[in-house]
Structures are given as structure tokens and as C-alpha cells.
Amino acid sequence: MDTTDLVLAILHHLLVFSLAGIIGAEFVLVRGDLGATTRLSGIDRHYGIIAALIIIVGVCRVFFGLKGWDFYVYNWVFWAKMAAFAIVGLLSIVPTMRFISWNRQASGDPSFAVPAAELASVKNYVRAEGFIFLLIPVFAAAMARGYGY
Ligand code: HEM
């Protein structure tokens, strides 16, 4: 029994489910009327905080988890999971910048309407984020069971 490993695993799961919830919420909100812009940038701020916490807790799992760091660093499935997480992070940059910009413009001009082309591109980014995100638990389950050597 190892309490540190258990606590890290619980935190990791709670955080990754929260991030999934946020991506899901953004996925739905960018489809609605963009009176949702204020909510989007508020929700998106939590995305950054939760992603940062996932990195901290994830790295702690690598170094302080039951299996030891060498279980992961030589495992390509672990690195595939890291790459997928990094790609999701990179894909989130454009939507984040747009949400901030829309929010700023909407607060200065109540009649502001999100340009259709910007909205369409943000939808594509959020959709791509959602699909790549689905790969992360697939890689996680495989690496945890020793696949990837
Ligand atoms: C820097 C980011 C991350 C690091 C360093 C990291 C690291 C880890 C580690 C060390 C484990 C333990 C695996 C084992 O039991 O041997 C784990 C498990 C897991 N991770 Fe991550 N993780 C990260 C991000 C994520 C993200 C974004 C997700 C989103 C879905 C995720 C989902 C999971 C799941 C579902 C498990 C449990 C796998 C299982 O036991 O079947 N991780 N992670």
C-alpha cells in the first residue's frame, strides 16, 4: 500500500476528468449563440490552471509513483501520451486567444458579433483538441499495463 501513489492517482483522475469536462463545455459552447463568449473565456481560464496542475501531478506520478520513473521514460507509449497532451495544448492556443479577443470586443461593444470565419476556425480547433484528447486515456491505459517497450 502506498498512500502517496494513491493520492496522486486520485488527483490525476479528478484533474483529467475536469479537463475533459472543460473541453466538452467549450465544444458545446462554440456551437451555441456567441452570447456565450464571456462564459467561454471564463471557462478557458480554468483550462490553463487545470492543465498546469495535471503536468505537476503527472510528473509527480512519474517520480513518486509505485513503478518508478524508469518504468515510464523508456516507454514509447508514455511519450506518445505526452505528445498527444502537448498537441492538445498547442491546439488550444488559438481558441484561447480568440476567446480573450471576443470577450474584450464584446465588453467594449454590446452589439459585437463574432466573425463567422473566426468562429468556424475556433470550432475546428476545439474539435481537433477533443479528438486528440481521446487518445490520451488510450495511451495511458496501455502504458500502465506495460505496453510500449
Ligand atoms: C504531463 C502530463 C501527464 C503525465 C506526466 C502523466 C503521467 C501519468 C502516470 C505516471 C500515470 C500512472 C500510470 C501507471 O499506473 O503506471 C498516469 C496514469 C493515467 N493518466 Fe496520465 N499523465 C499526464 C497527463 C494525462 C492526461 C492529460 C490525461 C487525460 C486523459 C491522463 C490520463 C491518465 C489515465 C486515465 C491514467 C490511468 C491509466 C490506468 O491506470 O489505466 N494523463 N499518468
- For the chain, the structural domain boundaries read 3-144
Q: Is 53 in the pocket of ligand 1 (CB under 6 A)?
A: no
Q: 137 alpha carbon to ligand 1 midpoint, in Å?
A: 7
Residue 84: HSE in the Cβ half-sphere, 13 Å Cα cutoff: 18
Considering only CA atoms, which residue is closest to atom 16 of ligand 1? 144
**pTM assigned to the model:** 0.92
Of 107, 114, 112, 96, which is closest to residue 31 (Cα–Cα)? 114
pLDDT tens digits for 116-128? 899 999 999 999 9
Burial class of 74 by CB neighbour count within 10 A (0 to 12, 13 to 18, 19+): exposed
Q: 96 alpha carbon to ligand 1 midpoint, in Å?
A: 24
pLDDT tens digits for 81-108? 999 999 999 999 999 999 999 988 988 8
